[in-house]
Structure 1
Amino acid sequence: MEVKQNNLIKSLSAQPLIVVIRLEHNFFNLSQKKEDLFFKIEKLSNFGIKNIEIGWDSNPEWVNLILEIKNKFKSINLGVASISSKQSLESILALDLNYSMSPFFNKEIHLKAIKYKQLVIPGISNIENFKESINLGYKIIKIFPASKLGTNFLNQLKYLKEKDTFFIGAGGIKSKSLKKLLRSGYDALVIGRELRNQLPDKDLEIWLKDY
């Protein structure tokens, strides 16, 4: 897990942004949906986005979809969002993902992920879970939901940390706020639903010019 954490920190230090794409509820019923997804990923890649997460889905075809994306978009540092159950964790074991994330801290899930050498970054919303995550060996922490917890919570965690921790902010983040939030102390940010259709808007295009 240490190697994967270091690799992700290196990638996000170069470009501190992850774009999350979540599949629509009828995604696997319509072939056009996959074409639309690939168009979005290609568009994001062409604009210079390096890190993309795909939302986990319980459909049996989801694993094959992720493998196809990995093979088609080799320049993307691909991860998976919403690993929060035994089923979702088990489904990613054979995918050899660089990283994945959970919306909250679930000690049982994280212990299993560590056992299987899977990087499942915990979502943190309180100090107790932060301390538990650090004790498990995590040096990358996702603060979620960042828009509601605010930078005061981030500062509390920074004050408590005993070793270097890489803080990712996620939840309700808008592209126009990227610069401000990074200046406030986040090491990287996740943007998803607030980015319309998960395609670059003008604010994101302007931000990307610095990376």
Structure 2
Amino acid sequence: MVIRLEYKFFNVSNKRENLLLRIEKLYNYGIKNIEIGWDSNPEWINLILEIKKKFKSINLGVASITSKQSLESVLSLDLNYSMSPFFNKEIHIEAIKYNQLVIPGISNIENFKEAINLGYKIIKIFPASKLGINFINELKNLKKKDVFFIGAGGIKSKNLKKLLESGYNALVIGRELRNQIPDKDLEIWLKNN
């Protein structure tokens, strides 16, 4: 699950409390991997540290690592992972240098090959809903090593089973869920899996 902070999140006092309640609800539904969208506000790092301390059982990551500034801000957080929406070779080389996993988002074969050449074994396909199942099949035919595929971007909970059966190892849901609360399809899927 990816959570993007609302506009002017840090200017409204109850937004932080509401976010913590939302994360607790998601965890209670059975969601164990949550990414928080990166924000340039200096208070963002304290928010991530608070979430990490309060929810030790959640595998917490950061979404939208797209610049050196965003990469530098996650280095001190000691998180298991972060994700970029697209492949930026400079950012990924820098992340590797600091032993920070920034899962690359790829949308074409060239970037896939570059990410594999850098040693990545976890790849995010973005936007998965637009690239379709043929794209992941093409990637699976190209791979030389085992690669863990994460689908993100426009994923609807009603399509989880179909996408997982098509070759994705994991899926990220975000904006497609209203208020980032599990809908009926996701609730059913979480109960059965």
Does TM, normalized by the shorter one, top 0.5? Answer: yes
Other-structure match for 1:161: 143
Matched, 1:127 2:109: yes
* Paired letter, 1:147: S
- Matching residue's letter, 1:134: I
Indicate the residue corresponding to 1:92 in structure 2: 74
The 3-state SS of whatever aligns with 2:176 is coil
Q: Please give the alpha-carbon distance, in whole angstroms, between the structure 1 residues aligned to 2:159 and 2:9.
A: 30
Distance 2:20 2:183 in 1: 18
Q: Classify the secondary structure of the residue corresponding to 1:209.
A: helix
Partner of 1:190: 172
Deviation at 1:184, TM superposition (A): 1.1
Number of equivalenced pairs? 193
Secondary structure in 2 aligned to 1:191? coil
Identity of matched residues, %: 83
Structure ranking higher on relative contact order (CA contacts 8 Å, 6+ apart): 1
* Ranges of 4+ aligned residues in structure 1 off by more than 3 Å: none
Alignment map for 1:39-58 (pairs within 5 Å): 39-58=21-40
Q: CA deviation at 1:210?
A: 2.1
In structure 2, the residue matched to 1:141 is 123
Instruction: Please name the residue that 1:171 is paired with.
Output: 153
Determine the C-alpha separation between the residues in 2 that align with 1:210 and 1:111.
Answer: 39
Any idea what the Cα deviations from partners look like across 1:9-50, whole Å, max 9, x if unmatched? xxxxxxxxxx00000111000111001101110000011111
CA RMSD of aligned residues (A): 0.6
- Alignment correspondent of 2:5: 23
Distance 1:167 1:47 in 2: 24
- TM-score normalised by the chain length of structure 1: 0.91
Where does the alignment leave 5 or more consecutive residues of structure 2 unmatched? Answer: none
Residue in 2 aligned with 1:3? none
**Structure 1 residue 173 displacement after superposition:** 0.4
Which of 61, 64, 69 is the matching residue for 1:79? 61
What letter is aligned with 1:52? I
CA distance in 2, matches of 1:202, 1:152: 28
| AA partner of residue 59 (structure 2) | N
- Mapped partners of 1:145, 1:48: distance in 2: 25
SS at match of 2:35: strand
Match of 2:162 among 180, 183, 188: 180
Q: Residue deviations 1:96-154, cap 9 Å, x none?
A: 01000000000000000000110000000010110000010100000000011001010
Long gaps (5+) in structure 1: 1-18
**AA aligned opposite 1:24:** E
Report the counterpart of residue 49 of structure 2 in structure 1. 67
TM-score where L is the length of structure 2: 0.99
**1:110 correspondence with 2:92:** yes
Give the CA deviation at 1:200.
1.1
